[in-house]
Structure 1
Amino acid sequence: MNTGENAEALRKIIDLIRQGSIFLLGLHCYVFCYQAFELWGLTHSLVRQLLTNLGNTGLFQEFHISKAIALGLLLVSLIGAKGKKNEKLRPGTAISHLVFGLILYWGSSWLLGLEASAPVLAGLYITVTSLGFLLTLFGGTLLTRLLKNRLDQDIFNQLQETFPQEERLLENEYSVNLPAHYNLKGKIRRSWINIINPFRALLVAGTPGAGKSYFVIRHVITQHIRKGFTMFVYDFKFDDLSIIAYNTFLKYRKRYPVEPKFYVINFDDLSLSHRCNPLYPDSMTDITDATESSRTIMLGLNREWIRKTGDFFVESPINFVTGVIWYLRRYKNGKYCTLPHVIELMQTHYDQLFPVLRTEPEIEVLINPFVTAYVNGAMEQLEGQIASAKITMARLASPQLYYVFSGNDFTLDINNPQEPKIVCMGNNPQKLQVYGAVLSLYISRMIKLVNRKKQQKSSLVFDEFPTIYFNAIDSLIATARSNKVATCLGVQDFSQLKKDYGREQADVIANIVGNIISGQVVGDTAKTLSERFGKIMQQRESLSINANDTSISRSTQLETAIPPSRISSLSSGEFVGAVADDPTNKFELKTFHCEILNDHDALKAEEAAYLPIPKIRDITPAEIETNYLRIKDEVASIVETEMERIYDTPELAHLLVVRDE
């Protein structure tokens, strides 16, 4: 027990051993320097007799025996010594004194071989040996004062925040598997991020430069195409991801049961773009499809309306656009049901527009409030309702957009088993507001066709997802799992989602995804993720130093596995996250904090060998302009023909609108 009596007894034993060491070293010097002591007159017959008796034991038979025993006693005394610990003391200081002392202690015997008088040699030998003895004593004492349990070795607590991660490769016909390595208590170990159930959605977060596309999204594209997925890629910075998808498609297209076709939508270079009508009449079975399309395009062009859903001056323009869309869908079985025709028809004067729209009974309930306002002379209200729709849609009135919207090179049912497709749609950050809105319409219409039963497995990849508006993304994630639709969303931060989708919608998106991979994020996003990853048991140490003893206290307690500060300081390529399993392939180690391993040289060589996306057609400005004017003429013809029919048919005379002055 660590009591005062025991400590005092130990100190006396140590002192006794150390005194014995000094006494034996003195006898050693006296015996082997006896001639000098005689000349100095420091001998006595009694001492000589005592040393003779000791010599019979063999203690002084060899020169180094007594010297070695003296040193051994000194070292034994040091083992039991307890000095006051000093956390500033470094091992190098103690060891240097100890080594230099031992060199002097043993090297002093070399002095006895020099040519000099006995007193001089004895004096030098005794001085150097004593100095070596004292330095050895001092160095050994410093070693006992070293703090063995240093608490400043892991100042960022990195070792305690490590935890076991999945080291097995768990692969199936749908999985995305990313090789990685991680730190476990100071040892680097290989691991795998196994996204074995991508149908529960994957959210990839990270600030610009964190490596979302390079380390994660590109592998989702390549591995899913290799495994026979049909695919949609929203390429925010065209053609960064599209060229990866195209070259992977060329490499693995023969693996598909039915070879898919590759399509591109690109508004900047029409020679590299296919044409597709998002309001394709066969895909619009009832007026709710028109309502959904109208809401998507209007909220996509006016993001601030998202937080005002339900307001009179938000719902009115949406209803107006819905009526125009559904009228064109019903007119001649949808022959002119395209977004450019919708835009042009909206610009028609009210005296002609309202009677034409009223010829379709299904939209009477949508159009009647506008007609009533016009008839009653409430022009300010009417302009507030309709002008916002006109002005908003007028942003899309360009010959280039009209050309892409008015063609039918392909349909949006990308996972049709008979006609599988890989579709890439490119945006342009410099034209984000316009392009993002129309791409949102494409995506909204596509999801309606993709999320059905008995279709081919498909993968939807959205880079920089907040730059588009997709109102039903939560419904897609919640229901697409059974239809084999895998969704991958790339975002920079949850606050970006909240800004563009509203807090409630953003929270739903962040909370219902089953798989999440995050690079460096900060603020509330880091806190949210840290809470999601949970806690682990971590060791804690406390150290107390006093004049007599050093007390170390150890404990274990639950602490955050990956604290927000760690997530905020991740390097590029370093990711944290959690993955989901499925009933047929369960595993426990779902959370990870690792660095994804990319073979940079191989990827660089692969990119150097990429083939460019081929030109689809040769298109001239004259052809684009001709298409633009043709659409205007067709809308004018529709209005003129319908007005003539109304005037020539007495039964339709009630459809005419007469404004009160």
Structure 2
Amino acid sequence: MGTGENDQALRKILDMTRLISVAVLLLHFYRECYGAFVAWHLASGLTDRLMVNVVATGLFSSFLNPKLISLVFLMIALIGVKGRKDEKQTWKTAVLYIATGLILFLTSYLALSVKEKAQTVALAYMALTGSGYLLILSGGTMLSRIIRDRLAGDIFNRDQETFPQEERLLENEFSVNLPTTYVLKGKIRNGWINLINLFRALVVLGSPGSGKSYFIIRHVITQHIRKGFAMFVYDFKMPDLAVIAYNTWLKYKKDYEVQPKFYSINFDDLSRSHRCNPLDPSAMLDLTDAVESARTILLGLNREWIKKQGDFFVESPINFLTAIIWYLRKYKDGKFCTLPHVIELMQADYDSLFTLLGTQKEIDLLINPFISAYKRDAVEQLEGQIASAKITMARIASPQLYYVLSGNEFTLDINDPAAPKIVCMGNNPQKIQVYGAVLSLFTNRLLKIINQKNKLKCSLVFDEFPTLTTDIIPTISTGRSNLISTTLGIQDASQLRKDYGREQADVIMNIVGNMAVGQVSGDTAKLVSEKIGRIMQERESLSINRNDTSISRSRQLEAAVPPSRIAALSSGEFVGLVADNPDCKIELKAYHGEIVNDHEALKKEIDSYKPLPEIKKINPAVVERNYLDIKKDIKNIIELEMERLLSDPSLSHLIIRKR
């Protein structure tokens, strides 16, 4: 700790050093300009004898020696100078003063070669040398007044909000690896986002245009197909991602042990769509499968019901639809168990409908409340229970949907080792509510079928996941052991909360192990910033008063990527976290960088893509005939069953007629 005595002693030493520097310079002037000093009557015997003694020491053995010695003492004196800090003082000005002073101080000898009077030459030499000396003194003093504010030029604190990131390429048979560039303390470095364990799920967040599909999702598709994954792709804007999957499949399908087949579902272009029955009876093993299917389709068509599950007027339609699905599943071993047949059977009159449903003992508990209300003539209650389901399901009663949903060209067991598949299903932003509900049914059935032991590794990719009503949580939680990779594309966490409710949305956001976040704002940005955590950052504070200006530095933990930075990310710039494996630890899990895409190569690749193939020519008459055949099937079922019951006295009691 400094004391007043120490400061006073230091000042005396500095003053003495500066005085020695000036004295040496004056002796140099006296010797080199002796003739001028004589002319000015400033020479004396005393000074001459003193000069002779000094010369004898060797100080003036060369012309530059005394000047350099004077300069050295001046530098020593300047080292200990503590000038009053000035925030406006800059290095540039101080260095300019010192450089100019050195030039004048060291080149002033040229004035001695001028052929003029001795007095004139001496004055010119001493003026130039003295000016140089004073400029060096002023520049050195300025250096001591400069505030070393290392953060002054970093007004957004970008240099402090950087941290070391993974620069190794860590690859395995399941990984997706994305090259990046990132900034560390002002220097651009190369790194890698190593998604080595996507079985712990990946959520890709970002507002429209942030680059979710172009920079991340497309690479998940291409790298996983290249590594032999079965795949399901939900393509919100069909066929953007489907084309990528199809062409990658064409390129790498021969590398699979069993060559996979490619299937697509496209409700807008039937010629490029395969047909698939999401209520395939072979995969509907018990009543709970029917319950899940009914819940999925109704919640998909009525998104507000998601937040009201458990209410009487939500559960009643679900039970009603469940009963119809299970009846068709049991009738003739599921020959007519398709969603179009379910919709048509729902429209039957109550006498016939309840009579048919009453023949299946497994659904007695489900339909008894409806039959009781019907017999008691509780029309308002019955319509409240059933009409919402009938009206809702009528939205998807179109010939095009009936055509796709009533066929059975492939099954949803995409990860069957003996018959792997790559399946793409497309939505249409203009028809989200209708198509989304049907596709939700497909995805829910698929998730239950594939989540089994001893299956092929498979990758699930959902673009704009909130447009589906899919219960993805069990798959994320338990699918890891069954080699199921899940990628969810979401614009914002608030979008997920809006469609799924806060509790379910928070569970999804919290259980995923990998996160890639582009430009988002609000609560989502805060959530991501907290997940990434804090780093040690330097802080500086500037204090100015009448007598002194000082700067204080401290170190404290601050957000590595604050919400404001996340809200201002550029397209292709992502922050996030990666999950690791027990056998491959990743210490630097957090990242903040720009994903490197070879835009020219990707453009050429996209230009060379083949469109989705035309599967068959579709005649509108065929679609219409299929639509009418389904209606006819239901009519025949009702007529045959009613006739069977009427002709058998032991079954006639099952016939329900309103009194």
| TM-score computed with the length of structure 2 as normaliser | 0.94
Q: Is the 8 A contact 2:147 2:550 kept in 1?
A: no
Aligned-pair CA distance for 1:298: 0.2
Question: Alignment partner of 1:634: what SS?
Answer: helix
- For residues 17-70 of structure 1, the C-alpha deviation after alignment (integer angstroms, 9 at most, x for no partner) is 222322332333333333333333333333334334433444445443333333
- For residues 122-158 of structure 1, the C-alpha deviation after alignment (integer angstroms, 9 at most, x for no partner) is 3333333322222221112111222235342444444
Distance change in 2, residues 1:249/1:87 (3 Å): same
Residue 467 of structure 2 is matched in structure 1 by: 467
Give the Cα separation in 1 of the matches to 2:20 and 2:413: 96
Residue 513 of structure 2 is matched in structure 1 by: 514
Residue 25 of structure 1 is matched in structure 2 by: 25
Query: Please, which moves more after superposition, 408-417 or 363-372?
Result: 363-372
Give the Cα separation in 1 of the matches to 2:24 and 2:557: 57
Distance change in 2, residues 1:527/1:650 (3 Å): same
Q: Aligned pair 1:87/2:87, yes or no?
A: yes
Residue 595 of structure 1 is matched in structure 2 by: 594
Residue 427 of structure 2 is matched in structure 1 by: 427
Residue 334 of structure 1 is matched in structure 2 by: 334
Distance change in 2, residues 1:144/1:510 (3 Å): same
Residue 137 of structure 1 is matched in structure 2 by: 137
Q: Is the 8 A contact 1:203 1:490 kept in 2?
A: yes
Aligned-pair CA distance for 1:589: 2.9
Q: How many residues are paired up? A: 659
Residue 612 of structure 2 is matched in structure 1 by: 613
Aligned-pair CA distance for 1:107: 3.2
Give the Cα separation in 1 of the matches to 2:297 and 2:514: 29
Distance change in 2, residues 1:85/1:357 (3 Å): same
Question: Alignment partner of 1:165: what SS?
Answer: coil
Give the Cα separation in 2 of the matches to 1:369 and 1:382: 9
Give the Cα separation in 2 of the matches to 1:160 and 1:132: 41
Residue 166 of structure 1 is matched in structure 2 by: 166
Give the Cα separation in 1 of the matches to 2:585 and 2:38: 90
Aligned-pair CA distance for 1:545: 6.8
Give the Cα separation in 2 of the matches to 1:534 and 1:34: 74
Q: Is the 8 A contact 1:325 1:337 kept in 2?
A: yes
Give the Cα separation in 2 of the matches to 1:81 and 1:313: 85
Q: 1:100-249 counterparts in 2 under 5 A? A: 100-249=100-249
- % identical equivalent positions: 64
Q: 1:523-534 counterparts in 2 under 5 A? A: 523-534=522-533
Q: Is the 8 A contact 2:260 2:420 kept in 1?
A: yes
Q: 1:437-456 counterparts in 2 under 5 A? A: 437-456=437-456
What one-letter code is carried by the residue in structure 1 that aligns with 2:524? T
Q: Is the 8 A contact 1:17 1:77 kept in 2?
A: yes
What one-letter code is carried by the residue in structure 2 that aligns with 1:482? S
Give the Cα separation in 2 of the matches to 1:630 and 1:596: 53
Residue 358 of structure 1 is matched in structure 2 by: 358
Q: Aligned pair 1:586/2:585, yes or no?
A: yes
Aligned-pair CA distance for 1:612: 1.4
Give the Cα separation in 2 of the matches to 1:35 and 1:645: 143
What one-letter code is carried by the residue in structure 1 that aligns with 2:337? C
Give the Cα separation in 2 of the matches to 1:428 and 1:654: 48
Give the Cα separation in 2 of the matches to 1:24 and 1:484: 85
Residue 252 of structure 2 is matched in structure 1 by: 252
Q: 1:552-567 counterparts in 2 under 5 A? A: 556-567=555-566
Q: Is the 8 A contact 1:87 1:150 kept in 2?
A: no
Question: Alignment partner of 1:650: what SS?
Answer: coil
Distance change in 2, residues 1:590/1:55 (3 Å): closer
Q: Aligned pair 1:481/2:472, yes or no?
A: no
- For residues 197-251 of structure 1, the C-alpha deviation after alignment (integer angstroms, 9 at most, x for no partner) is 2222222222222222122211111111111111100011111111111111111
Q: Structure 1: where are the runs of 5+ without partners?
A: none
Query: Please, which moves more after superposition, 619-628 or 573-582?
Result: 573-582
Query: Please, which moves more after superposition, 546-555 or 335-344?
Result: 546-555
Aligned-pair CA distance for 1:550: 7.7
- For residues 610-648 of structure 1, the C-alpha deviation after alignment (integer angstroms, 9 at most, x for no partner) is 121111111122221121122122222222222333333
Residue 414 of structure 2 is matched in structure 1 by: 414
Give the Cα separation in 1 of the matches to 2:116 and 2:533: 79
Q: Structure 2: where are the runs of 5+ without partners?
A: none
Q: 1:619-658 counterparts in 2 under 5 A? A: 619-658=618-657
Query: Please, which moves more after superposition, 118-127 or 246-255?
Result: 118-127
What one-letter code is carried by the residue in structure 1 that aligns with 2:192? W
Question: Alignment partner of 2:240: what SS?
Answer: coil
Query: Please, which moves more after superposition, 546-555 or 186-195?
Result: 546-555
Q: Is the 8 A contact 1:84 1:547 kept in 2?
A: no
Give the Cα separation in 1 of the matches to 2:508 and 2:621: 45
What one-letter code is carried by the residue in structure 2 that aligns with 1:212? K
What one-letter code is carried by the residue in structure 2 that aligns with 1:514? G
Query: Please, which moves more after superposition, 585-594 or 336-345?
Result: 585-594
Question: Alignment partner of 1:490: what SS?
Answer: strand
Give the Cα separation in 2 of the matches to 1:93 and 1:584: 57
Q: Is the 8 A contact 1:84 1:546 kept in 2?
A: no
What one-letter code is carried by the residue in structure 2 that aligns with 1:517? A
Distance change in 2, residues 1:170/1:531 (3 Å): same
Query: Please, which moves more after superposition, 273-282 or 42-51?
Result: 42-51
Distance change in 2, residues 1:362/1:58 (3 Å): closer
Give the Cα separation in 2 of the matches to 1:419 and 1:258: 7
- For residues 272-323 of structure 1, the C-alpha deviation after alignment (integer angstroms, 9 at most, x for no partner) is 1001111112111222211111110000000000111011111111111111
Residue 379 of structure 1 is matched in structure 2 by: 379
Distance change in 2, residues 1:34/1:537 (3 Å): closer
Question: Alignment partner of 1:241: what SS?
Answer: helix
Give the Cα separation in 2 of the matches to 1:358 and 1:623: 35
Give the Cα separation in 2 of the matches to 1:151 and 1:271: 62
Give the Cα separation in 1 of the matches to 2:105 and 2:590: 59
| TM-score computed with the length of structure 1 as normaliser | 0.94
